[in-house]
A and B are shown apart, each in its own frame.
Chain A
Amino acid sequence: MTDRDTTPAIEFRGVVKRFGDNTVLDGLDFTVAKGDRVTLIGPSGSGKTTILRLLMTLEESNGGLILIDGEPYTHEMRGGKRVAVPEKRRRQVRRRVGMVFQQFNLFPNMSVLENIIEAPVHVLGLSTAQAVVRAEELLEQVGLADKRDARCTQLSGGQQQRVAIARALAMDPEILLLDEVTSALDPEIVADVLGVLREVAETTDITMLIVTHEMQFARDVSNRVLMFDHGRIIEEAEPEVIFTAPREERTQQFLSAVLGEDTADRS
């Protein structure tokens, strides 16, 4: 293995995040290796979304460093002081990070195709023709080739989310952040969206950071699960281990609440 391979894709070093008086993350450390699929679980308010939003620069941290591929992302140490990285350099690093949101957030003023090619054309500098070819491949992959020219508002929630996944993938991210991407969907279409994500996990080596309540999906896709409570990692293990034999009592309580007492895992 070369050095580059062992550099973590994501590294949090003593990251602090406060909202007013509420300290959500208090010196959080963790790393995600390249190609890892990590699921974050934990009770509501434990800081899972905050971690993803920090990685997307939708929130500013109050302390510590976040590194992507070993590079300072939002802040760096200069002369012993922690200083913000200028937006121009943040943008270069952010290019490698993509995100899919719970509420899809497609642009309603654009068609499905336009949503997907907007950033590849204007940010990556692809020609429109190249971007369209790639977008059509991706639409095929998410099973929506026939919706190419549809308006986003005409699509169902599940279809919108699949377009949002295609849109994120069109940027060729090295890291993909997924924050409860099926929570806003009707139960019967959750499987479609998870199916698409399973395929992405199988056919690419994108590093994935996943927040989900779909424990079976977490189990199938991820190779590591981090259990959060009050902004700290209280347990970390492979999915097989954490879902069948959690070490911490807090994890056991959380999982039995989420999975329900009658689940096979618990019997």
Chain B
Amino acid sequence: MSDNLQTLGDALPRLGDAVLVTLQLTLGGAALAFVLALLLGFGSRSHRGAVRVPSRVVVEFFRGTSLIVQMFWLFYVLPVFGFRLESLACGVLALGLNYGAYGAEVVRGSINSVPAGQWEASTALNLGHVHRLRRVIFPQAWALMIPMFTNLLIQLLKGSALATYILLHDLNYFTEQLRRSTQDTFFSFTFGLLVYFAIAYLLTLVMNALEVRAKNRLGAGPTLREVLRIAPVPATAKAGAA
């Protein structure tokens, strides 16, 4: 065991690099996925066929194909057409497209879940189409989206491990290297699990904070400050939240 720890200690700088690669893949992929989810999600609801149909096709295609095959395709096939992307770019792109397609369904579903009365009241107040979405519908849909986005983000983190196979030295790769140098399968893979779990847990905490804030803005639940107990909760707020 002490040998294992010694080996791990020597590898620590590389662990830092590996975690950084995994975080780049995860956060880069999530950022791209988020933008695509909004574009494709709203596109899927459009009344114009020229917008809706392509959105649906893209969503169905990227949901319906395997992430690893998408990564391989970007990494090995795209260069055949003369576009060579770096490994990291391929990873981020594949993760973004794949999870963006899932996210688009989350966006579409959440927008549709905002009660009809909210749309109708906006019409009665003569709010324009874009204004209504931006100021009334989206803030309410956003609170519904976040828990589902949290799930997708964690899945995206785990999916990022596939980037090892397009030659990225991410956390998965590090774990494999650790196994080779320690010859201890249990130790190295358990260590890998724990580090992935720690990252996932941190991401979940951040997303939960976003969720608390979004719900509070809709007048439901406590403020983030109350949840975090950063400031002592005033007695009135406590009574209100109870």
Contacts and interface: CB of A to CB of B under 8 A. Distances in A.
B215 to A, nearest CB: 10
Interface string A101-117: 10101111100000000
Nearest to A56: B124
Interface in A141-156: 151-154
Q: Is the interface of B mostly helix, strand, loop or mixed?
A: helix
Nearest to A120: B125
A91 B220 CA distance: 33
Interface in A22-36: none
B127 A123 contact: yes
B125 A123 contact: yes
A189 B170 CA distance: 63
A118 B218 contact: no
A15 interface: no
A108 B125 contact: no
Interface stretch (B24-32, B92-100, B134-142): B134-142
Nearest to A87: B129
A105 B126 contact: no
Contacts of A131: none
B236 to A, nearest CB: 12
A154 B124 contact: no
A152 B126 contact: no
Interface in A88-144: 91, 94-95, 97-99, 101, 103, 105-109, 118-119, 122-123
Contacts of B128: 91, 122-123
A161 to B, nearest CB: 12
Contact of A58 (B123, B125, B218): B123
A168 B124 contact: yes
Interface string B136-157: 1001100000000000000000
B225 interface: no
- Most A CB contacts (10 A, CB to CB) among B120, B127, B219, B220 go to B219
Nearest to A154: B219
B84 interface: no
Contacts of B140: 108-109
A151 B125 CA distance: 19
A94 B220 contact: no
22 contacts: A56-B123, A58-B120, A91-B126, A98-B124, A99-B124, A101-B121, A101-B124, A105-B115, A105-B121, A108-B140, A108-B219, A108-B220, A109-B136, A109-B139, A118-B125, A118-B135, A119-B126, A122-B128, A123-B125, A123-B128, A167-B125, A168-B125
Given A98-B124, A168-B124, 11 more contacts: A58-B123, A94-B123, A106-B121, A107-B121, A107-B136, A109-B217, A118-B125, A118-B135, A122-B131, A123-B125, A152-B219
Interface of A: 56-58, 91, 94-95, 97-99, 101, 103, 105-109, 118-119, 122-123, 151-154, 167-168, 171
